Amino acid sequence: MSDRVNQFVVAMGGAPAPGVNPYVQLLPIAAVFAIFYFIILLPTKQKQKKLDAFLAALKVGDRVVTTGGIYGSVTKVGDESVQLQVANNVRIEVAKASIGGYQGQEQLAEGNS
C-alpha cells in the first residue's frame, strides 16, 4: 500500500528539472501578485485618497449629491456628519461618508443605487 502511495505522489508532483533555479519557479507567482497590485489595489488606494481629500475639503455652501441620490447644499459640516439643505427650510443630517461628490460632476464614491 505504501509503495502505491509513493508512486502516486511521485507521479502527481513530478521530479524537479535538474539545474533549474528554485527562484525562477517563483517568477510566475510574483508576476500575478504584481499584476493584481497594479490593476486592482493601486487604483483603489488612489480613489480612496481622492475621496478622503474631497470629504476633508467640504465647506458650507458646497452643492453636493449623496450616494443615495439626495441633492443639497451644505449648511453645516461636523466631524462625522454633514447638514444638507434640500429645500426651503428643509435640512437633513447625513453621514459625511455618504457624500458622493459635487453636483454636476462625476461621483467619487460608489452609490447604492
Fold of 23-102: SH3 type barrels. (2.30.30)
Considering only CA atoms, which of 110, 84, 97 is closest in space to residue 54? 97
Q: Can you give the pTM of this predicted structure? A: 0.63
CA angle, residues 105, 48, 29, in degrees to nearest 5: 130
Domain boundaries, the chain: 23-102
The residue type at 87: A
Structure confidence at residue 21 (pLDDT): 79
Query: How big is the chain by its Cα radius of gyration, in Å?
Result: 27
DSSP-derived 3-state class of residue 73: strand
pLDDT in tens, 67-79: 999 999 999 999 9
DSSP-derived 3-state class of residue 113: coil
